[in-house]
Amino acid sequence: MAYSYTIGGFTYRFDTLRELLAKATPLRSGDALAGLVADSYEERVAAQIALADVPLAVFLNEAVIPYETDEVTRLIIDTHDKAAFAPISHLTVGDLRDWLLSDEADTSTLHQLASGLTPEMVSAVSKLMRNQDLILVAQKCEVVTRFRNTQGLRGRMAVRLQPNHPTDDAKGIAASIIDGLLYGSGDAMIGINPATDSPAATSRLLCMLEELRERFAIPTQSCVLSHVTTTLQLIEQQVPVDLVFQSIAGTEKANASFGINLSLLQEAYEAGLSLKRGTVGTNLMYFETGQGSALSSGAHHGVDQQTCEVRAYAVARAYQPFLVNSVVGFIGPEYLFDGKQIIRAGLEDHFCAKLMGLPMGMDICYTNHAQADQDDMDTLLTLLGVAGVNFIMGIPGADDIMLNYQSTSFHDALYARRVLGLRPAPEFEDWLLRQGIIDQQGNRLSSPIQKQLYTAWVG
């Protein structure tokens, strides 16, 4: 089906929904690299005006990637909840934007709607929204998940403690963990990116995290971010696996480049469940995503990078994840060039995931060849804190010495919690208070546990 809009006698034509979505996307370098962007500022707005008039029902009939050739499309269509969609089935994309911002769309209404929305509908509506719209609607969504503690409650913001080390040195990692815990981080998880993805190295790190967590009775969960096949192997060997990690993307071909497919993810999810390690809930999958991943593996099928990204959330949604993380600025300036593009993408990713019912957090980050700096991260952190982000990263001094990029620090998390009145996950907050690491106001204290923690581990 073709779409068009006429401005001053000139008619812009968009041959497919895929093309319309791409041309309506706020400018970013990845879509330019893929040759998908609007040719002018006017064409972009023309596409947005045309997109606003597209009925949502069209999205159920015109797939951006064919049903026959892509299992992610099949997942999206086959699991679409028609009953949940019914109340908005008469709306256009533009109507949906106005309705989402209305007072009628409250937390419970949005919760019920989630399974009736396809990723393409969500991506489409986000393209018509300003940053403040993305923040306002995301803030109305509340997505709560549980494993060993509770994530996503209103007024809370958790932190993934990311203690990476270039050689996976146990003491080096422990030093960063202790630093983070004593700054009140680690409630989302203690999650290590291993320098080597070998079963032996992963197992060693998991056992170390298990020992630390048990010894100090920390109500959190651990994760070593190995490939899902490595984790599956370790589960079979009874290694203590809490969260099951995998990077995912929004097309079958891009997932294949990650060495995964939907049935492998299902197998990993079931294996994780079989361990029965969650104490307050059974959400255990941890997914990472990021705009540009499909294009970087040549697997985007002419679909803009943001729509590909939201399709990855449909993949995540199938496995009731504990947390999902968009590593927004990690992939580099060829996909998101500068602070402006990173901030916009971060707000889009968070909004789209929340609207689809996902426990969304964000690695608010950039690489040194992107035109961004810590000021941009402060801005995005503050905006996402306002929007109700489930969790952020906590990295010593915001400088990851293994992955060589900059994110947010333990101090940054304390800043966001303080200026926005946010608190850690409840079970973890109780632990911090009991240990005397923080007081009721979130101020950091000096306490005997500090010495105990660091002498026990490296002393």
Partner 1 sequence: MSATNVNEVRKAGVEPDEWESLKAYTNARIALGRTGISVPLRESLQFKLAHAHAKDAVYSALDLSDLQKQLAQCGLPVYCVRSQAMHRDMYLQRPDLGRLVDEHSVETLRQLNRPAVDLSIIVADGLSATAITQNAGLVVHGLVDKAKQAGYSLAPIVLVEQGRVAIMDVIGRLLNARLAVILIGERPGLSAFDSMGAYMTYAPRPGLTDESRNCISNIREQGLRPVLAVDKIMDLIRSAFRSQLTGVQLKEDSNADSLPT
Which is nearer to partner 1, 66 or 397 (by Cβ)? 397
Which is nearer to partner 1, 302 or 397 (by Cβ)? 397
> Residue 443 Cβ, how far from partner 1 at the closest point, in Å?
7
Which is nearer to partner 1, 176 or 220 (by Cβ)? 176
Burial degree of 60 (CB within 10 A; 0-12, 13-18, 19+): middle
> Residue 373 Cβ, how far from partner 1 at the closest point, in Å?
6
* Integer Cα distance of 436 and 425 in angstroms: 16
Which is nearer to partner 1, 161 or 265 (by Cβ)? 161
> Residue 30 Cβ, how far from partner 1 at the closest point, in Å?
9
Which is nearer to partner 1, 333 or 357 (by Cβ)? 333
* Integer Cα distance of 275 and 261 in angstroms: 22
> Residue 342 Cβ, how far from partner 1 at the closest point, in Å?
14
> Residue 88 Cβ, how far from partner 1 at the closest point, in Å?
38
Which is nearer to partner 1, 19 or 31 (by Cβ)? 31
Can you name the residues that pair with 166 across neighbouring β-strands?
Answer: none
Which is nearer to partner 1, 104 or 375 (by Cβ)? 375
Q: Give the residues lining the site for partner 1 (CB under 8 A).
A: 29, 32-33, 163-165, 169, 171-176, 178-179, 182, 333-334, 337, 367-370, 373-374, 395-399, 401, 404-406, 409, 411, 414-415, 418, 442-444, 446, 450-451, 454, 458
> Residue 444 Cβ, how far from partner 1 at the closest point, in Å?
7
Which is nearer to partner 1, 44 or 311 (by Cβ)? 44
Which is nearer to partner 1, 72 or 190 (by Cβ)? 190
Which is nearer to partner 1, 66 or 166 (by Cβ)? 166
> Residue 156 Cβ, how far from partner 1 at the closest point, in Å?
17
> Residue 406 Cβ, how far from partner 1 at the closest point, in Å?
7
* Integer Cα distance of 342 and 336 in angstroms: 6
> Residue 267 Cβ, how far from partner 1 at the closest point, in Å?
26
> Residue 365 Cβ, how far from partner 1 at the closest point, in Å?
13
